[in-house]
Amino acid sequence: MKVLQINSVCGIGSTGRIVTDIHNILIEQGHESYIAYGRDLSKNCDTSIKIGSKIDNYSHVALTRIFDKHGFGSKKATQKFIEKVKELDPDIIHLHNIHGYYINIEVLFDYLKKADRPVVWTLHDCWSFTGHCAYFDYVGCDKWKTGCYDCPEKNSYPASVIIDNSKDNYIKKKELFTGIKNLTIVTPSKWLAGLVKQSYLREYPVEVINNGIDLDVFKPTQSDFRERFNLEDKFIILGVASTWDRRKGFGYFIELSKKIKNDEVIVLVGLSEKQRKYLPKNIIGITRTSNVKELAEIYTAADVFLNPTLEDNFPTTNLEALACGTPVITFDTGGSVECVDSKTGIVVKKDNLNMLRNEILNIKNGKKTFYNDVAINRAKSVYDKNKQYGEYLNLYKHSKDNKLRL
3-state secondary structure of 239: strand
Domain ranges of the chain: 2-212+385-405, 225-382
Query: Which among 327, 320, 237 is positioned nearest to 283, based on CA atoms?
Result: 237
CATH 3.40.50.2000 fits 225-382, yes or no: yes
For residue range 327-336, list pLDDT tens digits in order.
Answer: 999 999 999 9
pLDDT of residue 406: 47
User: In the CATH scheme, what is the code of domain 2-212+385-405?
Assistant: 3.40.50.2000
Give residue 403's pLDDT band: very low, low, confident or very high (50, 70, 90): low
For residue range 290-321, list pLDDT tens digits in order.
Answer: 788 999 999 999 999 999 999 999 999 999 99
For residue range 152-164, list pLDDT tens digits in order.
Answer: 999 999 999 999 9
Give residue 404's pLDDT band: very low, low, confident or very high (50, 70, 90): low
Topology agreement, domain 2-212+385-405 and domain 225-382: yes
Residue 340 clears pLDDT 80, i.e. is over it = yes
Q: Once rounded to an integer, what is the mean pLDDT over residues 267-271?
A: 96
Helices marked H in 119-277 — which ranges? 166-177, 190-196, 225-228, 250-256, 273-277
Q: Once rounded to an integer, what is the mean pLDDT over residues 328-354?
A: 94
- CA-CA distance, 404 to 406, in Å (whole number)? 6
For residue range 186-204, list pLDDT tens digits in order.
Answer: 999 999 999 999 999 999 9
Q: What is the pTM of this model?
A: 0.93
Residue 45 clears pLDDT 80, i.e. is over it = yes
344/369: higher pLDDT:
344
- CA-CA distance, 26 to 33, in Å (whole number)? 6
Phi and psi of 64, rounded to 5°? -70, -50
For residue range 65-117, list pLDDT tens digits in order.
Answer: 999 999 999 999 999 999 999 999 999 999 999 999 999 999 999 999 999 89
DSSP-assigned letter for residue 314: -
* Mean pLDDT score of the chain: 95
3-state secondary structure of 228: helix
- CA-CA distance, 112 to 117, in Å (whole number)? 7
